[in-house]
Structure 1
Amino acid sequence: MTESNTYSDGATQPTGEVLGGPQADSTRKDPQEWATGDEPMTGAQRSYLDTLAREAGEEISADLTKAEASEHIDRLQSRSDRVPTDS
């Protein structure tokens, strides 16, 4: 039998790993855990990172991996008015 939590309205939810809840976003994985994170950044990442870096007044190496580019994009987006995209 699967353990469950009982809520005040009588509904139950299984304990353990669940999908669709606020506990975790399964679509976002730490870039360092990506299977292809050590590959060169994509053209889309390069273009977007170039735009963000220019807007922030930063110079960033053009020789980045997908994971590194994603981390820079996340960092620069957090300082920008731009709406985050998937990187």
Structure 2
Amino acid sequence: MTDENPKNEPASNMEKDPEDWVSGDEPMTGAQKSYLKTLSEQAHDEKALAEDLTKAEASKRIDAYHRCACPQAMI
């Protein structure tokens, strides 16, 4: 039996893969939509914002913009 305590290793539970989110299949939030719109406009890639994204898909696209600011990495 192991005594795993997330407080001892806080990084181990800091970020969960969007595919594993319980609510990942729900429509993206208003905040995600607004932020993606801003990011896509800044990247001059307004076609990257789809209206029917899920929370998980929106999160992945936001992460892609943060990683490299190259919208083609999102698809």
TM-score computed with the length of structure 2 as normaliser? 0.73
Larger strand proportion of the pair: 1
Residue 79 of structure 1 deviates from its aligned partner by 2.5
Q: Does 1:63 align with 2:40?
A: no
Q: Give the secondary structure class of the aligned counterpart of 1:63.
A: coil
Structure 2: tracts of 5 or more residues without a match: 70-75
Q: What's 1:46 paired with?
A: 33
SS in 1 for 2:27: coil
Q: Say which one has the larger Rg.
A: 1
The list of structure 1 runs, each at least 4 consecutive aligned residues, that deviate by more than 3 angstroms after superposition, is 15-18
Q: Unaligned 5+ residue runs, structure 1?
A: 3-14, 81-87
If asked which structure has higher relative contact order (CA below 8 Å, sep 6+), I would say: 2
Identity of aligned residues (%): 48
The AA in structure 1 aligned to 2:55 is K
Query: TM-score, structure 1 length as denominator?
Result: 0.64
* Paired positions, count: 66
